[in-house]
Every structure is written in C-alpha cells, then in structure tokens.
Chain A
C-alpha cells in the first residue's frame, strides 16, 4: 500500500509511511490553485493566493489531527458530533430568523462557520456508523433505511430552509452513496430514482425559487438569455475554449482579468485556469483529482471493517461530488450552481470540508496500516 515506505531507507519511517501518492497530487493541486488565484488576484498574492495557502496550512494541521484520532474515540464521538452539527444548523436558522433574512453561517469572532459544510462529512460518518451497527440480517428491512433516512433528511430539511439547494444535494449524495454501498436492495434505488425523475417537473414548477428556475432554463437553453442568467456559463465556456491547447499564458487571461468571467476565483476558478493554461492545465487538474479519488477508493477497498469502508467511500464520494458538479457547470453541462472546486477555489468552507474528508481518509488509511485486514472477520 505504501510504495515509498518499502523502497527507501533514507527517508525516516514516519514521513515515508504517509500516503504520498495522494499527498503529492493534493499539494500540487493546491499550489496550482494558488498560482491561478495569484493571477485572478491581478497578479498578486493578495487578496486570494496568500489566504489560500494559509488556509491550506491551517486545515492541513486539522487534517493531521483528524488523521491521528484513535478508532474507538471516533466510534464514540460520531453521533455526538453529528448532533452538534445538527444543532449548529438549527442555530443558523434561529439566528437567521432573529436577524431577519436568510443566512448560511454562524459567526464566532473572526471565524465564520458554515455548519452545512461540516454536515457533509458528518452525515457520512453517522451513516457509516449506523450501518456498522446494523445487524447484517436487517439489510433490506425498513429498519435498514428509516433511521438512516432520518439522518439524511433532518439536516437536508434545515439546509433547504436556508435555502441552499446545492449543499442539500451534496449532503444527500454522500448519504445515498453510503446507503448504496451498505448493500440496500438495488430496486429501492431504481424505484427512488424513477420516482425522482417523475417528480422533477413538479419540483421545477412548485419547489424552486425563481432564480433557481432561471438557472435550469438557462442550462437547458443557454442562448435564451445571453446577458442574464446564461451569461456566466457562456463566459466560462469562452474562457475555457479560448485557452486552446496551451492557454494564453500565466497572468494573460483576458476573460478573468477584465471581469468578463464572473467569480474567477471561486466557482469559475477552473475556467480562469483553463484560459491561462489551456487543455494541458485542465488535463493536469483532472489527473490530480483522479489520483486523489483513486487513492480514496483504494483506502476504502483496503478497509478491514464496514465502518472504515463506508466512511472512506462516503468521504471520497463527497469530494467527487464537488469536483464533478463544479466542472460540469463550468463546461456548460450543468446548471450554474454555487459549488466551488476543491483545493483550487478561494474559500474556507469548501477547503475545510474537503480537508476533513481527506483527514478522515488518512485516518482510515492509518487504521488500515496499523491493523491490516484479516480475512473474513469484521
């Protein structure tokens, strides 16, 4: 599992045993992200690149702490932490109600926490813990789905109230992937999927806000409103397409520098990057993500027990969700949605979520290494 550890005797063991096959792509990606943010910030470390690197540093420490947590403590703290995050979500609602108007975060001094972000790994953790404790024989009965369903529905309903459709879907995605992997009957998913598709028109007409509806219509027909809602995606495609094979060169992006590209440092950071670095830069980013996700699945596959496997897979799926939705959006294949690109976009909340996921994966990886899988026992 760890190639470096066996190969080199020069590198000290504690360093050598780290999962470099994931860490190196991750750091390259973050560094590359910093470079793009440097350009998006008008060719300066401020205001984006520097804080990007600082955040990565801070969250790397957090990741290391998470990675070092003992298995029993995690098992013990899973539900309480889920509950805590749920309470924080509730607090957001209350503060929002009191303060008037909707908001998505809580403020504590200089730190601004967005509980809905933390909820993504928290749901995955809680679900993994639930299916670990669920007796194997109960899979397929109502008891295998109702409690876990509640674990998903509760936070989602609170997040939807904010309202934040994107995060709700992200939470649901993580949870559902865990359910799927936990072995629930396939036809349940097929039926739910079918019902979901059937309900889409109803959701479109009755549940969505006007601005959300506009995003969907724009996605389906981008030419309908080139200066309104479709503007963002059109400009993003222009940025990516005009980059060509090798891009316009570092700091030479016109779409981002002249403000044609909206949010060149957050949601549309990939377009910013592709404009300056071209297809090659894009393929590099995709390759880095592929390596990270591949490692995530490897950790899941090597897990000795159900909790670890489900947790690792759920964390990987959560990271994947961010990447996929963001990239689909910037390339004009999904509606404009406020979801940032992990480790490249400027923004603390998504960085934290993804670093928590990485931390959880590294934690599982460490447990795997310390106690290798033993045959068929749990």
Chain B
C-alpha cells in the first residue's frame, strides 16, 4: 500500500500529472478513507459490545443506584415505662426540619430564611448557625421540631429555593414529666461525629434520627433502637419522587420497663421544690427503685436537638448544678444517718444495747473534748436513745470500744462505699474510711478522732443518696437488699440475711422513735392512720465552723440535710433517703420524706400538701424552669458563649465537678467536728422558712435538756 501512496511525494512531482493519474489517486485514497471509516465503525461496534456486555453488570448497577433512592425510615424508639406501664419516655408524631450542611448553597441566607419562615428566636438561629459551621457536612442539624402543620406546609412549598433543607414527618422523643426524669432517663440527640465513627451506621446520620445521650436512654440504646425501615423510591435526576417501589416498615425498639413509679418520681422531684437535692425510694421487698429524683434538673424535651447555648449557660451558671445527677453522683458526709448502722455494728460486736453511757454534753478523748450536739447533755443514754436522740457521746464512747474496723465493715455491708449492678452510665461509690484506707490515701496513721468523726458520719465518710437508701432498706429488713432498676432483672440479696430479727426489731423501734417517739424528727410523722414511718436525721457539716455556722450565710457553706427512712416501721415496705444539699440541716430533708411517703400511701393527701407548697413557690418545677429560662434568655441571651460542641464534654465536665465537690469536706476531715444542733426538733428547722411554709412547731416541745428524755410529742403533724 505504501509504494503507490508515495506517488504524490515531492521527488516524483516533476512527473506529468494527468486526469487518469488523478482518478487513480482518487480511487486509491477513497479506498483508504473508506477503510478508515470502516475501521472506526468496527471500533464503535466493539466499544458498544464492551460497554453493554462486558461492563453490563457495572453499569446496570449504576443505573439502578441512579434510579432507586433508598431512604431509611428511622425506627420508632422503644418506650421507657414505669412499673405500671405508664410512659416516662414516649414518641410523638411531629413535623420537623433538618439541615444537611454539605448540601447548603448559602448557609447563612438559608438559616435566616428558615428563621423567618418558622419564626425562630435569635438565640436559636445563632445556635443553628454555630452548629452548621462546626458540624461535619453529612450530619444533619436540627432546625426545629414539633412544627405546626401550617409552618411545615409553608416551608415545603419553598423547598426548591432552599437546597439542603429536609422537612419531614417523623417521631420525636417526648418525656411527659419533663425535668422530673431528666437525670434518670437522660435524653436523646443526633449522633456526634465520634459516635458515627465508632459505629458507621447510615442510620446515625439519617435526618431526624436520635440516639440516647445520657442516662437510661444511652444505657439501653441497643434495646430501644429497633430496626429501621426502608423506603425504595424511583427518583428523577432532579430528586423528584416518581413512585414508591417498596416500603419496609420499621420495627419499633423494645420498651424498657423500669421499677420506677412514675407518679412518685414526679411527686418527689416536685416536692424538692426550691432546694437542691435528691430523693430515693426503694421497695424493701424487692429492691425496686421506685423513685430516683434529683433536682434541680433540666428538661430533656428541650435537649433533643442538642443543648442550646442559652440553656447551657443558664444550667452551668447555676450553683445548684442542674446537670449533675445527685442520686448517683452527689457524695455527702452522711452525718448522723449512719448511727443506726453503727448501732448494728456495735450489737454485732457484742455491745449490749441496754448498756448506758452518761452524756454530759461531751466526751474527752485523749486531750480533746468531743462535744455532743446537745451541749447540755442527754444524761444516761442507751443505744435506742442514742439513735432517737442522736446522742453523739454514746457513739463516741462505744465506737472507741469496738474500734473502726467493724464499723467500716458494717458500713460496707450496708451499701456505703459500694457500687450496685444498675444500668446507669456511672455511679460514685464514695468513701468508707478505715485505717488501711487512710494510710494508703493520705499516708497518715488512723487517729481516735477519725473513729469519732466516722461514727457520726463525718470526716472522710462520703456516700451517695442511693447508698443511703440501700442502707435504710438493709437495716429495715435485715436482708442484703440489692437495688434494681428494671423489672426484667431478678430481685437479689433476699436470701442473704445480714442481721438477726431481734437486732432488726431493735433498730426499727429506735428509728420509729426518732419520728413517732421522743426523737429528733417529730414533724416527719405520717398523717396516715396506722402507718408509722421510721427514720434517722442527719446534718452534715461541709466547712469549718470558722467559716460558717452552717445555717446562714452563703448557700454553699450551709450544712447538708439528710434523712433516711422506712415505713411502716414494724413491717417495712418502703425505704429511702432524702438529701438536701446545703439545706441548713436535717430539717430541710425530713418534711420531704414525710410528704413523699404520704403520697405513696395516700396520693390525694400528698398532692394536697404539695399543691399548697407549689402555690408558694410559684408553680411546678417545670413551670419554674421555663420561667427562669425565659428570664435568663431575655437578660443574658445575647452574651452567652458557645456550649461545648460535644455532649460528652459536658458530661465529663459535670462529672469532674461532681468529684471535686465531693472532696469539699476533706478540708475538715481532720478537724474535730462540733456536731450541730441539727437534729434538734426544738430549734426552728434551718431553712424551713424557704422549704416548708407549714407552721413551725413551737420550740417548747423540745426534749428536756438534761435527764431522762421527756416523752415529747413534738408538734402536730401538719
């Protein structure tokens, strides 16, 4: 082929060119061009075959993934139910709007427009902008939920101008009793980037999908989650849905049935009122935790889209730490509430309960004098009187006789310093000091005054309200009651008998006398016929006497008020503990225990008392929280700083602060505690003015300062 071609080459150009040569050239070259064209044709056919046969599978797949859009239907979250099946956390259908940051064209403009359409508050808009700016592009950011249908419709028609905005119908988490269950249940929120990395499940970045962030919501995430449904739709390139191909319904998550009594939980939380504290109530027969209220709290409903800047600032600024679950992470010196436990230790160590100690208002130990709260002395005190009159000298004397180790062992057996097998994110176990512990922790020898301090629940001793409640139920029943939080777990510890029936009966009677006899908490008597509550008061000093007298002055220096109880005293059914932080003394705690137990036996009577109180406080806890938020937002809304980006950071911070707060009393652990006249019904219960507007009984009903206790009937029950 090459030779004839070269005829046109320059060296042969001199040759005469005529028409026939040109014709021959034409024919030759036409064949070449035709061949080239044929070649291209064959190449096209081969390419076509390659695409449609060899690569058919790949392209068919791509065509399908073009055509079919798979959307996950977030599963409805399982409910969290109380012991009677009433929801503590449920779902409600709502209209919601999310943003996908990476699909936004003009983030600022879109958010402003949304804010205008949905009339969002400026603080909320600022929060959303902040989240969009810091979030990863694919993770949806909630704009609003619980929209009215009109707003939802108005937004839906404007969608073409708002790329990245995803309105949808879905379910959102709903906590009917709001802040009452905040700490217990926790809350839900969109998965963070870390959570998505840990579990790269496309469900986690589905708009509107929330996972448990705290409390039981987080603990039971696996059970509550359920199985997502899926919707396969045919979509055009522009995203318009042509038709539904297939829909698989979601499977709702498993419900979690708690031992909590919902109404009681709500009641207790509300009854705490303006104070900061916690109430734990257990069923002594099964170990069921009926109530784990911790107040002040947050509203988990408003946390469902993450913690807003203003809300976070408000909760954080509050010295009553609404973000801390005080039932599990509040540690307090138990104060005199340990005395029944110490009594049990004494009896087990062989002390005869009828043996008396003379209380002259103090006891010299070495070269120091340890005072009784009652400076005038209690006279001859046996064990029962030591409990119901809370005589410190009796315990100083007896504890020295048996030493610290049996007392520490008993404290642990009663649950102090222990962790319980509960489905909670974390629980603090506090401190039960003994010589070995002190040497290890502080490198110092155990001193006599350490024993003295420990027997009255001060010094290094720290415990949580949950532990105090467990202690109360173990003392009340004599069995090794283990608390449980879910109904599907087995009651534990009932086969293990800790104390003999006689000892139990003795302590029951003495603790009953605290309330119903000549004791320190006469106003705790239940206004219910035939049901008598037994209890023990406690006042825990938090700072040195040189700083505060514990009753007035700065809130954070006031004494903690504690009360452990069970009822009915002779056949215990319920036991529990009330701890009021910086309540100024036990007088802040036992009226709450009284009302909570009243509610348990007679809800109508309990509510009556609460309604009267709430009228004075300005509404329920939830109403007050909302009002505070509105006021705070109005005042400080514009100046708040950004909340931490990750919820985990908030928890870590709250937990670290809780640990630090628990060490507050370390500073006075080495001091001689001068017991406060905390348990003295003759004095005006400290802080009672704020806590309990019920008429304060006249101080005249005080026990006689010396000599045998007069059989006082301290006031009438309000």
Please determine whether chains A and B interact with each other in the same assembly: yes
Question: CB of B56 within 8 A of chain A?
Answer: yes
Residue A357, interface by CB 8 Å: no
Docked-complex contact A378 and B19, CB < 8 angstroms? yes
Give, as a whole number of angstroms, the nearest-CB distance from B571 to chain A: 75
**Is the C-beta of B41 less than 8 angstroms from some C-beta in chain A?**
yes
- Indicate if B642 sits at the interface (CB-CB under 8 A): no
Q: How far does the alpha carbon of A276 sit from the alpha carbon of B17 in the complex, in Å?
A: 54
B37: interface (CB < 8 Å):
yes
Which of A235, A241, A259, A260 has the most chain B CB atoms closer than 10 A to its own CB? A241
Identify 20 residue pairs between A and B in the complex whose beta-carbon atoms are under 8 Å apart, listed by A's number: A136-B22, A177-B33, A180-B29, A181-B26, A182-B22, A184-B8, A185-B10, A186-B6, A187-B9, A241-B51, A254-B67, A255-B63, A259-B236, A286-B44, A293-B37, A310-B26, A333-B47, A376-B19, A376-B23, A378-B19
B66 contacts A254, C-beta separation under 8 Å: yes
CB distance from B248 to the nearest CB of A (A): 22
Chain A residues in 8 Å Cβ range of B30? 181, 297, 300-301, 313
| Closest Cβ neighbor of A327 among chain B residues | B44
Contact B48–A279 (Cβ < 8 Å): yes
Q: Which A221-271 residues have C-beta < 8 A from chain B?
A: 235, 237-245, 254-255, 258-260
Beyond A241-B51, A297-B30, whether A258 also contacts B56 by CB under 8 A is no
Check A286 against B26 for contact (C-beta < 8 Å).
Answer: no
Rounded to whole angstroms, the CA-CA distance of A274 and B60 in the bound complex is 13
Q: Which residues of B contact A136 (CB under 8 A)?
A: 17-19, 21-22
Interface residue A159 (Cβ < 8 Å from any Cβ of B)? no
| CB proximity of A133 to chain B, nearest CB, Å | 13
Total residues of chain A contacting the partner, CB 8 A:
54
- With A187-B9, A331-B47 known as contacts, the answer to whether A245 contacts B22 (CB < 8 A) is no
Partner of A186 from the list B5, B22, B49, B53 (CB cut-off 8 Å) is: B5
Contact of A258 with B234 in the complex, beta carbons under 8 Å:
yes
Other-chain residue from A286, A297, A300, A313 in contact with B45 (beta carbon distance below 8 A):
A286
Q: How far is the CA of A283 from the CA of B50 in the complex (A)?
A: 12
A260, B9: Cβ atoms closer than 8 Å: no
Which A residue's beta carbon lies closest to that of B68? A254
Q: Give the distance in Å from the alpha carbon of A313 to the alpha carbon of B63 in the complex.
A: 41
Determine whether A317 belongs to the interface, using a CB cutoff of 8 Å to chain B.
yes
Does the CB pair B63–A183 fall under 8 Å?
no
Count, chain B residues at interface, CB 8 A: 49
Extra contacts, 14 of them, besides A297-B34, A324-B37 (Cβ < 8 A), are: A183-B8, A186-B6, A237-B59, A242-B64, A254-B67, A255-B63, A255-B66, A260-B67, A278-B52, A282-B48, A301-B30, A331-B47, A331-B48, A376-B20
Q: How many Å lie between the Cα of A306 and that of B24 in the bound state?
A: 11
Find out whether the CB atom of B9 lies under 8 angstroms from the CB atom of A243: no
Q: Smallest CB-CB separation from A243: which chain B residue?
A: B52
Is A160 close to B, CB under 8 A? no
A253 to B240, CA, bound (A): 17
Which residues of A lie under 8 Å from residue B37 when comparing CB positions?
293, 320, 324
B40 close to chain A: CB less than 8 A:
yes
Q: Contact between A238 and B33 (Cβ–Cβ < 8 Å)?
A: no
Whether A196 is near chain B, meaning CB under 8 Å from some CB there, is no
B interface with A by C-beta (< 8 Å): 5-6, 8-10, 13, 16-23, 25-27, 29-30, 33-34, 37-38, 40-41, 44-45, 47-49, 51-53, 55-56, 58-60, 62-64, 66-67, 234-238, 242
Binding site secondary structure of chain A: helix
Report A-chain residues with C-beta under 8 Å of the C-beta of B242.
258
Complexed CA–CA distance, A279 and B27 (Å): 34
The answer to whether A309 has its CB under 8 Å from any CB of chain B is yes
CA distance A378 to B5 in the complex (A): 23
Interface residue A140 (Cβ < 8 Å from any Cβ of B): yes
CA gap between A126 and B473 in the complex, in Å = 112
Residues of B within 8 Å of A278, CB to CB, are 52
User: When chains A and B are docked, how far (Å) is the Cα of A253 from the Cα of B238?
Assistant: 17
Residues of A contacting B9 with CB < 8 Å? Answer: 185-187
Q: Is the CB of B237 within 8 A of A260?
A: yes
- Are B52 and A274 in contact, CB atoms less than 8 angstroms apart? yes
Distance (Å) between the CB of A291 and the closest chain B CB?
11
Provide the bound-state CA to CA distance between A260 and B62, in Å. 11
Determine how close the nearest CB of chain A comes to the CB of B195; give it in whole angstroms: 29
A140 in contact with B17 (CB, 8 Å): yes
Give Cα A187–Cα B18 distance, bound, in whole angstroms: 19
**A208 interface hit (Cβ, 8 Å):** no
Cβ distance B239 to chain A, nearest Cβ, rounded Å: 10
Cross-chain contact A241 with B238 (CB below 8 angstroms): no
Task: Determine if B52 and A238 form an interchain contact, defined as CB atoms under 8 angstroms apart.
Answer: no
Shortest B280–chain A CB gap in Å is 58
A70 vs B324: C-alpha distance in the bound complex, in angstroms? 102
Closest B residue by C-beta to A140:
B13
| Beta-carbon contact of A290 and B47 below 8 Å | no
A177: B residues at CB distance < 8 A? 33
Q: Shortest beta-carbon distance, B24 to chain A, in Å? A: 9
The minimal Cβ–Cβ distance linking A102 to chain B, given in whole angstroms, is: 28
Interface status of A328 (Cβ within 8 A of chain B): yes
Contact residue among B29, B45, B60 (Cβ-Cβ distance under 8 Å from A244): B60
Contacts of B13 in A (CB 8 A): 140, 185
A283 touches B45 (CB 8 A): yes
Residues of chain A within 8 A (CB-CB) of B25 are 181, 183
B56 and A244 contacting across the interface, CB-CB below 8 Å:
yes
Q: Nearest CB to that of B66 among chain A residues?
A: A260
Asked if A64 is at the interface of the complex by the 8 Å CB criterion, the answer is: no
Given the known interface contacts A239-B63, A240-B59, the answer about A139 and B17 at a Cβ–Cβ threshold of 8 Å is yes
Query: Please, which residue of chain B has its CB at the minimum distance from the CB of A378?
Result: B19
Interchain CB contact under 8 A, B238 and A259 = yes
Distance, CA A148 to CA B502, complexed state (A): 127
8 Å CB contact of A258 from B19, B55, B235: B235
Q: Bound state CA distance, A240 and B63, in angstroms? A: 10
B415 CB, nearest partner CB in chain A, Å: 63
User: How distant is the Cα of A327 from the Cα of B85 in the complex, in angstroms?
Assistant: 69
Asked if A282 and B8 sit within 8 Å, CB to CB, the answer is no
**CB distance B8 to A187 under 8 Å?**
yes
Asked, given contacts A187-B8, A259-B236, A286-B44, whether A238 binds B22 with beta carbons under 8 Å apart, the answer is no
Q: Is A219 an interface residue (CB 8 A)?
A: no
CA distance A225 to B58 in the complex (A): 19
* A279-304 interface code vs B (CB 8 A; 1 in, 0 out): 10011001001100100010011000
Partner of A286, one of B19, B27, B48, B58: B48
